[in-house]
Amino acid sequence: MSDFVRIVEVGPRDGLQNEKQAVATADKIALIDRLSATGLRTIEATSFVSPRWVPQLADAAEVYAGIQRRPGIAYPVLVPNEQGYDRARAVGVQEIAVFTAASEAFNRTNTNAGIDESLARFEPILRRAAADGVRVRGYVSTVLGCPYQGEVPLADVVRVARALHQMGCYEISLGDTIGVGTPRKARAMLQSVAAEIPMSALAVHFHDTYGQAIANIAACLEEGVRVVDSAVSGAGGCPYAKGASGNVASEDVVYLLQGLGLECGVDLPSLAETGRWLAGGPRDRPATGDASAATDDALAALDAALAASPSPAQAKLLRQARQALADTRQRELDTQARYAALFDAVPDPVSILSAEGVVLDVNRAGIVAYDRPRGDIVGQPIELLNPDLPSDHLQPVWEALNRGDTYVIEVTNMRGDGSRFPVEVHSAGFQDRGQPCIVAVARDLSGRWRAESRYRLLMESIDKGVILFDRDLRVLSANPAAHRILGLTGGGVGLNSMLDPEAWIIVDEHGHPLTQSQWPTSRCFQAGRMIRSTIIGLYHRPRGRMLWLAATNVPVFGNGCDQADHVYAMFSDITELKRNNTLFARAQSLAHIGGWEWDRGLQRLYLTDEARRIVGQPADLEDMPDLLDCLRSDDRAALQQALADTIEHRSSFGLELQGQRRDGHSFWIRMIGEVSAGDVDAARITGTVQDITERKQAEETLRVQARTDPLTGIMNRDAVLSDLGVRMDSPSHDRVAVLYIDLDRFKVVNDLLGHNAGDELLIEATRRIATAIGTEGLLARFGGDEFLVICDLRDQPDQAEQLAERITAVFSAPFQLGSDEFPVTASIGIARAPRDGNRPQQLIQNADTAMYECKRRTRNGWQVFSPELAQRQHDRLQIESRLHKALDGDEFHLVYQPQVNLRSGATIACEALMRWHNIQLGPMRPDLFIRHAEHTGDIVRIGQWALREACRQVRQWQDDGLGLVRVAVNVSWRQFVGEDLARWVRQVLDEFGLPGSVLELEFTERVLIEDAPDTLRTFARLREMGVMLTIDDFGEGYSALNYLRRLPIHGLKLSQLFVEGIPRNRSDVAVCEAVCAIARSLGLGVVAEGVETEAQRQCLLDLGVTVGQGFLFAHGLPAADFERRLRRARELG
């Protein structure tokens, strides 16, 4: 368990929402900003609950928008419903919290909903939060006690916490709301919840009513809790239970954690200073008024008289008089304080006006609502807050007040920033020191107006009928859809007449008439809960019309009422569905869905005909044990447990089960069940059974296909990795070996004959390997032309080598592809576990290393992985590591090898050749480090540098008077597939002001083999720039012949591999002749590489090759030496 404890600071929300007096928005923001500087990681900022219920947090949006959110700190907010969620998201909230209770009585009293209804309200919020990427924290209140029912059953706590966690809450805070818990009870509660929810997803939240909060937290920490809710300075309280105190103080929790040696990241002195700041009154309350000056003057006079040494009798009288006067002054001060407290405690803006309409005082809520300092309001005419008032606005006010009435008006108020909001103002008159004054209370109507507008829009937009009934079943309102469905043209009166029992016959879904008390609406009033999806029929006698409706009735409770005041009836027209009931039943049959009902009391199981057909049982299957006997033992136990849980918790279940029919065929079913509606004793469970046999068979087929290579029919890469992992994790199978097999020259055959021939070769290779290993190994295709064989070494340590010998033997015969035979061999690498790796990827990688060593040395053989190979791999990594840093270390340079006219010897161009010198490794061979650079991808950066450096040198030669010199630069295949090569070439040419004709790009045939989608487009763009394109080392591969006819290239470079054998080697001469013939037929130029002897030069001239390069003419020269060579040639020329 971690030694770090996260503190969730709830003071700004749970603390301030219970303040008796409103706190200024700026002070709330200041508090959160101070807390952000203490090291806290989670600070609950505010609550987006309706200001009607929590006026202290009416400024939630302004507070959240105003705080300085710091990285690494979460600022969740409480939301009670979707409206609150919308308001929170509008200001960018990224984490929310939802609140419910484990006590049914608590939920009913404070939220007008039971536990299940309360949880149901959060489902759309959790779904939207998941879609929006918003984290959700769940609060479960009253986990140890409730002011309305006493101790709360632990089962209810577990049920609520589990439901929130399953809905998606990442963390559940368990709250002892009224602070009655003890360490023993806290442990028991926590252990019960932790049995179903991971301890890492639990937090605790204690109030300190009886001084047990710290002890309870310590007990929970010992159980493993690592998240604690608290409030700075112990802010807050519990408005639901008399005598309940505030939250446990964050300062005390930090002090406890330090004493226990647990980290929390909070600076205690900084936190304590914030607590002192909060307790000291950061809200800068306006002065509540002074005692009268006359009283002060009288006290001063009495003090002076006492100081004048009067007689004892006089002094006694003076002291008595002074005490009486002092008592009077104190009563005045107390009265003023009570007035100020009462004035600021009013949650709505309250203004005191003079008879002329000048503001004499304004309460705290007014300062917040109008967003103005008190000094900017007091002393100003009321028009400052109500700019649209007429000039005689006070006349009707005083007329009403003089009659003894209260004056009520709806007006528009204006905030300090100029924004406006609607209010309903209630005004009353009173006398202050004989002067008439007005007290005006303004109620913000913005929320009501928005709610009414949304309600009207919703009612008019939805296609379901909605009717609002009162307790006497009178219709109060109906939306347009209700009129349309019921065929009405009138308003509420028409609807009431339509529901007259004389005009209508109302029946249940089976056609049985219903009395008024049996109507779903009546039942909803009686039960005080939602009545879902009831099917009823309405027959209208006058018109002879029959309607079938699917209706849901929802109760509406007034404040503090335990009986519904109204019921919303929502319904859809399902007449057409009922008319087609026969077709619907047929559709069920076609969908392989049957119905069932189990009557526990009668011990009877009822199955529909389709259900009996699905399970393949005769009509004598009469009880649940008969059905259980058809199932596998594991599924039998699962169904028994599901039935027991459904009965105990009045819940539902859904299971996928496998069984066997009477005819011996197996079946798969999806069985769904729930307690029958209205069955309080759970005596009957009903549901459906669906035949999913075909789906399960398809899934099994897909599972096999997902593990099978579609071409060869053997295991694929994912399957063999999974199997190897299982073997290596098992103590009894840890000694295994991997044979990594790569087919030699497969790519040559694939490119020469095409993919179909390549597929034939792979299938035949699979057959041969499978024949060689028999049942002694597991064969898989790892990708392309690579195979893996896994074998067990426990009984035969040299099993891997024996299999490798047998595999190489079966590749001795050539492969027959069409009318031709092709010799294809196999290179094999062997690695053993655990010696060469204890994880699948490591073992395979080492086998791959051994295979490449085999391919490098001999091919057509096998190589066992060894420490020496590992060392070579280490050396390769060393080279690649230093190569990655070489460019930044300025370790590369270019040399320039002349390309000459083979007849005259004149230099006509040059090739830029890369050289690398590393301090630790010394000079590195180009073929070695370029191969590594291509493997790591560093070749892209290196190639860019070479191209730019070559162009820079050409620019310098031109500036030095040598004119334009064409330079050939090698380009890796990775530069074609890994970057926008044409854009880079254009950029470099523009940078140095060079035409494209000075640049020749040489690329190997691998560019053609990769055949990236953009390759042809890149060639075309380069040719448009005037850049020459040449295939380097032409003739070493086979793929180029397929592409030469459609690529916009200029020439071929005859590989040194063939040039070095001429004229003595007839085969090499024949290859050179063929290459030259291809070039001539396609109009391409030819440059010979590696010309080292006079005989080679002459032979090339005889073949028609006129340009070459090699040691016969010059090695690669530094730029200065190449420049001198050019100047010397010009001087001689």
**Block residue for tokens 């209208």:** 540
Fold of 897-914+943-1132: TIM Barrel (3.20.20)
Q: How far is it, in rounded angstroms, from Cα 235 to Cα 998?
A: 79
Residue 557 has pLDDT above 70, yes or no: yes
| 633-661 pLDDT per residue, tens | 899 999 999 998 988 888 899 999 999 98
Is 153 within 8 Å of 143 (Cβ atoms)?
no
Task: Give, in degrees to the nearest 5, the angle at Cα 727 between 723 and 729.
Answer: 115
Task: Report the amino acid identity of residue 451.
Answer: A
Task: Report the amino acid identity of residue 926.
Answer: P
- SS3 for 107-129, per residue? HHHHHCCCHHHHHHHHHHHHHHH
Average pLDDT for residues 972-992, to the nearest whole number?
86
Q: What is the pTM of this model?
A: 0.36
Task: Report the amino acid identity of residue 479.
Answer: N
Q: Is 238 a catalytic residue?
A: yes
Give the number of other Cβ atoms within 10 Å of residue 477's Cβ. Answer: 15
- Sorted by sequence, the CB contacts under 8 Å of residue 579 that are 6+ apart come out as none
| Entry field: residues in the chain | 1133
Question: In the CATH scheme, what is the code of domain 346-447?
Answer: 3.30.450.20
Calculate the average pLDDT of the chain: 85
| 856-913 pLDDT per residue, tens | 777 789 999 988 887 777 777 788 788 888 888 889 999 999 999 999 999 999 999 9
pLDDT score recorded for residue 290: 37
CA 458 to chain CA centroid, nearest Å: 31
Q: Which CATH class is domain 6-279?
A: alpha beta
30-44, 533-547, 1095-1109: lowest mean pLDDT where? Answer: 533-547
Strands of the sheet containing 778-783, edge to edge, are 778-783, 786-792, 736-743, 826-832, 861-864
Burial class of 549 by CB neighbour count within 10 A (0 to 12, 13 to 18, 19+) = buried
- Does the N-terminal peptide bond of residue 286 adopt cis geometry, omega within 30 degrees of 0? no
pLDDT score recorded for residue 581: 55
pLDDT score recorded for residue 1076: 93
Which value, to the nearest 10 degrees, does the dihedral of the CA atoms of residues 629, 630, 635, 640 take? Answer: -40
**Block residue for tokens 């030095």:** 960
| 1082-1099 pLDDT per residue, tens | 889 999 999 999 999 999
Q: How far is it, in rounded angstroms, from Cα 328 to Cα 1091?
A: 121
What b-and-e string marks burial along 591-624, b requiring 16 or more CB atoms within 10 Å of the CB? ebbbebebbeeeeebebbebbbebbbbeeebeeb
pLDDT score recorded for residue 517: 87
77-91, 135-149, 162-176, 725-739: lowest mean pLDDT where? Answer: 725-739
Region of 77 please: left (phi>0), alpha (psi -120 to 50) or beta. Answer: beta
Average pLDDT for residues 474-493, to the nearest whole number?
76
Q: How far is it, in rounded angstroms, from Cα 115 to Cα 158?
A: 12
Query: Is the four-CA dihedral 775, 780, 786, 792 of positive or negative sign?
Result: negative
Fold of 462-579: Beta-Lactamase (3.30.450)
Is 572 within 8 Å of 584 (Cβ atoms)?
no
- Per-residue confidence band for 586, with pLDDT thresholds at 50, 70 and 90: low
Average pLDDT for residues 286-300, to the nearest whole number?
46
Of these residues, 146, 238, 1072, 1099, which one is catalytic?
Answer: 238
Is 536 within 8 Å of 542 (Cβ atoms)?
no
Nearest partner of 1107 among 1081, 1128, 1085, judged by Cα:
1085
Q: How far is it, in rounded angstroms, from Cα 402 to Cα 428?
A: 10
Fold of 581-699: Beta-Lactamase (3.30.450)
Is 164 within 8 Å of 140 (Cβ atoms)?
yes
| 802-856 pLDDT per residue, tens | 999 999 999 999 999 888 888 899 999 999 998 888 899 989 999 998 998 888 7
**Block residue for tokens 């818990």:** 181
Query: Is the four-CA dihedral 1038, 1043, 1044, 1045 of positive or negative sign?
Result: positive
DSSP code string of 1085-1129: EEEE----SHHHHHHHHHTT--EE-STTT---B-HHHHHHHHHHH
Residue 670 has pLDDT above 60, yes or no: yes
CA distances from 419 to 385, 410, 626 (A): 11, 17, 73
Is 962 within 8 Å of 931 (Cβ atoms)?
no
pLDDT score recorded for residue 24: 86
Nearest partner of 789 among 757, 824, 759, 765, judged by Cα:
765
pLDDT score recorded for residue 286: 32
Q: How far is it, in rounded angstroms, from Cα 411 to Cα 401?
A: 18
Residue 110 backbone phi and psi in degrees, to 5 = -105, -15
Q: How far is it, in rounded angstroms, from Cα 797 to Cα 1121?
A: 62
As given in the structure block, the two tokens for residue 607 are: 């199955």
As given in the structure block, the two tokens for residue 246 are: 């505030």
Ranges of beta strands (E only) in 1-117 are 6-9, 42-43, 46-47, 77-78, 95-101
| 60-73 pLDDT per residue, tens | 999 999 999 899 99
Nearest partner of 1003 among 1026, 979, 1027, 1029, judged by Cα:
1029
pLDDT score recorded for residue 45: 94
Nearest partner of 426 among 407, 444, 412, judged by Cα:
407
Candidate ranges 208-217, 560-569, 782-791, 972-981; pick with highest mean pLDDT:
782-791
Q: What kind and span of H or E run contains 614? A: helix 609-615
What b-and-e string marks burial along 850-859, b requiring 16 or more CB atoms within 10 Å of the CB? bbbbbbeeee
| 492-513 pLDDT per residue, tens | 455 666 666 677 788 888 778 8
As given in the structure block, the two tokens for residue 436 are: 């008439």
Q: What is the CA radius of gyration of the chain?
A: 45
Q: How far is it, in rounded angstroms, from Cα 573 to Cα 551?
A: 9
| 157-170 pLDDT per residue, tens | 999 999 999 999 99
Q: How far is it, in rounded angstroms, from Cα 161 to Cα 119?
A: 10
Question: In the CATH scheme, what is the code of domain 709-865?
Answer: 3.30.70.270
Residue 153: HSE in the Cβ half-sphere, 13 Å Cα cutoff: 6
Give the number of other Cβ atoms within 10 Å of residue 155's Cβ. Answer: 12
CA distances from 1033 to 303, 967, 1009, 1082, 1088 (A): 117, 17, 14, 18, 9
Beta bridge partners, 688, equal 595, 672
Ranges of beta strands (E only) in 192-302 are 202-206, 227-230
Is 445 within 8 Å of 408 (Cβ atoms)?
no
- Sorted by sequence, the CB contacts under 8 Å of residue 170 that are 6+ apart come out as 135, 136, 137, 201
Nearest partner of 162 among 152, 150, 174, 151, judged by Cα:
174
Give the number of other Cβ atoms within 10 Å of residue 211's Cβ. Answer: 9
- Per-residue confidence band for 1036, with pLDDT thresholds at 50, 70 and 90: low
Is 477 within 8 Å of 462 (Cβ atoms)?
no
Q: What percent of the chain has pLDDT over 90?
A: 36
Task: Give, in degrees to the nearest 5, the angle at Cα 544 between 539 and 547.
Answer: 40
Nearest partner of 204 among 232, 170, 177, judged by Cα:
177
CA distances from 628 to 493, 497, 614, 665 (A): 57, 54, 14, 16
Beta bridge partners, 826, equal 743
Is 478 within 8 Å of 468 (Cβ atoms)?
yes
DSSP code string of 561-601: -SSEEEEEEEEEE-HHHHHTHHHHHHHHHHTTEEEEEEETT
Pairing of strands 359-362, 350-354: antiparallel
- Per-residue confidence band for 288, with pLDDT thresholds at 50, 70 and 90: very low
Q: What percent of the chain has pLDDT over 70?
A: 89
